[in-house]
Amino acid sequence: MNQFVMAIIGGGLIGVAASILLMTQGRIAGISGIAGALMKSEVTDKGWRWAFFIGLLCGGALLLIVSPEVFVISKERPIWMMAIAGLLVGFGTQMGNGCTSGHGVCGITRLSPRSLVATGVFMVFGMLISTVLTGVLS
């Protein structure tokens, strides 16, 4: 199936999942908040959070079975660089009080000013870092 159609289907499924979570639980589908709350003992609503998190893992596992070619390990980037990038993303989600799923998917659709700014910052710095690293590592 062509990548454009896959992106449309995937984006639609993300939108439907975020809408269902908002309508049934009154919660925003921010992955960092959902996963982060699973690690806190004072959080009492872990049932739906575990279901959401396990659903993400099962979706990834299903995609790995159906279309393994989409899981490509970068030969251009060393593992230490990807680990640092992951840590920086985690730090950024804490600093920005949310991630691209919470701000970008859910916040922008609610016209949240904070989410509009956060998503703009994510995008600008993502493009900037990508451009710098592409130039440095080429």
pLDDT of residue 113: 93
State pTM to two decimals: 0.72
Hunting for tokens 């393994």 — which residue is that? 68
Whether residue 23 is predicted with pLDDT greater than 70 in this model: the reply is yes
Give the phi and the psi of residue 74 in degrees, each rounded to 5.
-65, 125
Measured over the CA atoms of residue 38, residue 44, residue 50 and residue 56, the dihedral's sign is negative
115 vs 97: CA distance, rounded Å? 10
Domain spans, the chain: 1-72, 75-138
133 vs 44: CA distance, rounded Å? 42
Whether residue 6 is predicted with pLDDT greater than 80 in this model: the reply is yes
Number of residues assigned to the chain: 138
Q: What is the pLDDT of residues 32-56, one digit of tens each?
A: 888 888 988 898 889 999 998 999 8
Q: What is the pLDDT of residues 96-117, one digit of tens each?
A: 788 878 888 888 888 989 989 9
How many Cβ atoms are within 10 Å of 18's Cβ, its own excluded?
A: 19
